[in-house]
Structure 1
Amino acid sequence: MLSHMRALLFQRPTTPSISCSPTPVPENNNVSCTCTANVGQPAGSLRWLSGSKNNFITNSPLLTGDSPLVLTRQLTRGDHDVTQFRCDVLWSSEIKSSDSYTADVGYPPSGVTLRINSSQTNQDVVVLEHGAVTFTCSATGGNPAADVTLSGPGLQSTPVTSQVPHVVPDVQCGDSGSYRCTARNKFGPEQVASATLYVKCKPHFSSTRLPPIRFTGKAPSVVFNVTAYPGPTDSLTFGFLGSSAENSAPQTDYKGIEFGSSCQAVSNRVNLFTCVVTVYSIIPAVVGFYQVTASNPVGSTALVIEILLQDPETSDQNNGITSSSASGVTLGLGGVLALVVVISVVFFVWVWKRRWILPCADLHSINNSKRVQYEAKRSTDQNFEVTVTQSSLPRAPEGPYESLDMSEVAQRSIYSEISPDVAKA
């Protein structure tokens, strides 16, 4: 019984445990650490100590109290992986200590560099086409470690490892341009370093055949792009191929045509140039195919262009076909509509006139040059015969024929009249 009571009055403490959050804590923000333990019987106490690795200041505790005991402190970038916290249980003459917490502070990378081949960092480099090029990105600082990417004309945001070279074994003319190393993590703005790669190469055309130039007396032009470094040093040169684009021996002493050409660098592109060829005059004898050559100190490249001589009126017709087609359709429809109206009017007039002529359909015969006779025989008396001459008939009364300017027709229109006496007989 006595031993049981002593066990209740005396109980040794347990080793404390701690937990801290967040991890990592953004720089200049607070970290919160909680210490828990059974402080024993009679009850002991807890204390928080701070210091560096294996060097705690025991005579100046940060905080004392009962379990659980919470410690809150602001951390800076300088505390990262240096400052430590520890929790102790004080019981009688015994001290039981927890594991140490080492400050984990999150912050962005402080810098990044780019080196091309063996050049100095962030320095522009000139190389020859088809050679190997090495890019090395190096990021400094940052917790957690920064994600590093390399981007440029020949690369599309390629992830790389800091300080590990990235090799392009066969660099092309189109790979010229600005390259960037970017380092970033979740705790701040990204860091960027850049350098320009110049790949020396002879001119390259986007196509070996350009659309034809149709000369109409208005100085037509054709525009195309050239990839080269350095750019075309002189104006483009021209050679006359004649009527065949396959001619391998262009003439350079031709006469009868006046050319103009120029090449301008495209903004933000060190190796891209826009060239313009203009024809100011030409005679039929030199119409045909021409070889256009672009040159720089590395080499030269040629393409073929056809120049045609076109009648200005034909050109205007071709150029205006779109706008005139609508007018042509409108005029055509208007003409058809007018024709339909005219035909309809003529038809109705003809029908109207025919209505006035129809009463004359009872005439047996009309003869303008001879005397007209009408004979009528009665079915009951074969010997009875009535002869009527034109002179014996009364003149047709004036009627609608006169108003219709058809008096001549009216005069020729003779109606058969049978007198009442004849009818009675």
Structure 2
Amino acid sequence: MNLRTAARGFVAFLLSVPALQGDPNWAVTYPSSNICELRGSTVEILCNYKYPSANRVEKKLWFINKHKGAVDLKDDTDYTDRVEYSCVEPSCSRPSCTGTCTLRIKNLTQSDSAEYKFRITTNNGGAYSGAPGVKLSVTDFQVEVVILTRYHDGVQLKCHSMCYLPRLTYTWYRNGSQQYQGMYWFNINPEYRVSCAVKGSEHLHSPSVYAPEIPSVGWTPPGVIKEGSSVNLTCTSEANPVAKYTWTKVTTGHPPGRSVQGQQLSFHPIQSSDSGQYLCTAKNDLGTTNSSSFSIDVKYAPKTPSVSVRPPGEIKEGGSVTLSCSSDANPAADYTWFKDNQPLPWEPRRPYTLDPVSSKDRGTYRCQARNQYGYLGSNSFFVDVLYAPKTPSVSVRPPGGIKEGGSVTLSCSSDANPAADYTWFREHGGSVEELGENYTISNITTELGGNYYCEARNAVGLQNSTLMFLNVTATPSSPSSMSTTVAAGTVAVLLATMLLFIFLWMRRKRSSRKARGQGGRPDTREESPPCPVYDNVSALTNRSASAAQREPIEEQDDPHYASIHISRSKNQEVPRGFAGSLVESDHTEQVLYSAINLKRPKAVPDKLMSDTTIK
């Protein structure tokens, strides 16, 4: 069956319309008023015409109503090289001429669907066309999908065209290979691509029907996905009938999350929490296909860095401690460490271990996380390193020499954590039972001079300071110096008195012996003149010595001796009542001592003792 024969077989009815009402010599008629053809085929549209034999035909053309006026299809760019006219010369006899003209259109498209008309123009200016014209419908073969549930899950396909084409035989194709002829196909496999064609026009296949192919996923805008931007994901799959799409976020080791229907998945704006694996599912009546998992990697600046310390709890000097900084960031952040707001030359990512930790590591730490999208600092935290007191240092106030009677404050300080408690000690004297950083000695004396030190102690350990020597200098105004001076003066007066008494006693004794040697009684002799008063002890002593040389003493059975040594400080005044002067000593601190041995003669006249007067 050729196309022309097939087309003629589609005629539903014939319609003849006179070109000019009332004049039977003018007419344009069409054998078929409706023609249905397949896309890509060739169609022929035939018309019959007649006109008065007295006229002569000058132009014949076919046109459609889409243009204003009758525009020859040969001049229409949409039909270029696709339109041909095949007209038979008219046969004339009085009173009219008759003829035929056929329009042929090749490679039909669906846009060729229209109403076509034929027109003749004669030499007397008459133009005539038939109305209505021929309606052409261009269509594809279509496959109708029917799901069978009668026996088992399966698919039934039906091949048909939009317009009625009787007595057509259909041929079925699977994946391009001819299978069999008939209107229906049963139990299609999701892997098949099935089409059909009309026998005799096998080159004109219907569109194939098939299950969705593996979907592809894309996103806009392309490139890196940054947090806060708007992102659209699109799922595309080749399928006929058209597939429906479902989006699901999947996480390894977890059940799928909530599903979203639609070919496009939109994020306005996208968040870091939207990062993850996504799956697109395409489904039609012929099958279901999943895409490969698609990863959304949202880039963002660091968020809230946190610092951890291991091991937790107290940190003691000499131990080991590891500082770590972490932050939610994509890509992973690099870290800068700060101690007391000064950057540390630590590696940018690894945890840092202080091993061994020392008191110098005590301070306030923080870290800063940074990547190419931004940076953020952590909160500061304090690393408190506990350590025993370092060697304490001792100071004295006021500085310089220490004079007797003044006030002195010793201060002890030590680097320790926790803060140290202090106890004061005096060398060879034990604890002075003074607690505290400062030890004050009020009204200090020379006896309180010497070496002092302090002990610093906390829960971690203890340490002693070096010795601090207190050199206390005696001063005239001090109570100790005054008491020493008074004591020395008292002893000096006592010794001088005793020497004077001895001297007078010895002189009286000598006088008594002299009187006995003359036969007289001492008590009947003329009373001796009063003893002279000597101004100083030296003169007294010298005089006594010279007298002894001039007048030797006959009895020396009872020796009388005395030794006196008096030392005083420079510029020390001699007490009143002490005659003469004492030899000064360059020593500032001496021991005052004396030894006196007096032995009384066997017979000391009572009168002599009673008459002796010290002035």
TM norm structure 1? 0.40
Instruction: Flag the structure with larger Rg.
Output: 2
Kindly indicate whether structure 1 or structure 2 has the higher relative contact order, using CA contacts under 8 Å at least 6 residues apart: 1
TM norm structure 2? 0.30
